[in-house]
Amino acid sequence: MKPRAIIVGSKAIVYDKSFGNELFKKFFGKPFSTSKPKPERDYEPPFVLSLYEALYLCEKDLLTPVINGREASCKDLELYAKATVPNFAERYLVYKDLRDRGYVVRSGMKFGADFAIYEIGPGYEHAPYVVRVIKRDEVLDPIEIVMIGRLSHSVRKRSVLAVVDVEHSVVSYLVFKWVRM
C-alpha cells in the first residue's frame, strides 16, 4: 500500500515518518515542527507538502491522496487543486516541467514570484532563480517586467518568465539578466 497524504486546504499532510523523511531528503515538503529543517536530519511527522508536490508524487505513483476522508485518484486531486489554488493548471505545468528537468521547486512567495528554483536544494544553496508564470495569451505590462527585475535583483536572483500554453502543455522560459549601463 502506498503512503497517504491527507489533503487539507491548500496543503497535503504526510504522517508516515519514514516516507516523510525520504521525501524531505529529496526536497519534497518539509517537517511541520521545524522552521529551517536540515536535509541530513530525520524529523518527526507530520510533513507538509504543497498541492503541486502532492499531485506530482501522485502522478509518479508514490502516494495516495485522501480528500474528505476518502482515498482519491490523481485526477480527483488535480480537480480539487484547480478549485482551491488560483491558476493551478498553469503553475503545475511549470512545476512539473522544472521537477522533471531535475530542479528543486519551492514557493517563491517571499520573493514576489510563483516559484524559487534551486539547482542543488534549499539548505545547500540560495535559490539562483525566481519564476513568474504567465499564460501565453496574457498581456504583460512593461512596468511589471521592470518590477520583476528590480525585485529579483534586490534578492540576488535571476528572473525567469515561464510562458505557458496549457492547451498544448508547452512551457517556454525567458531568463532576464539585468545589466548596468
Catalytically active residues, by annotation? 118, 126, 157
d(CA 25, CA 163): 30
Lookup: cell for 181: 549601463
How many residues does this entry show for the chain? 181
Backbone Cα Rg of the chain:
17
Strands 158-165 and 170-176: antiparallel
End-to-end alpha carbon distance in the chain: 59
Crossing angle, helix 51-59 and helix 74-84, to 10 degrees? 160
Sign of CA dihedral 150, 153, 157, 158: positive
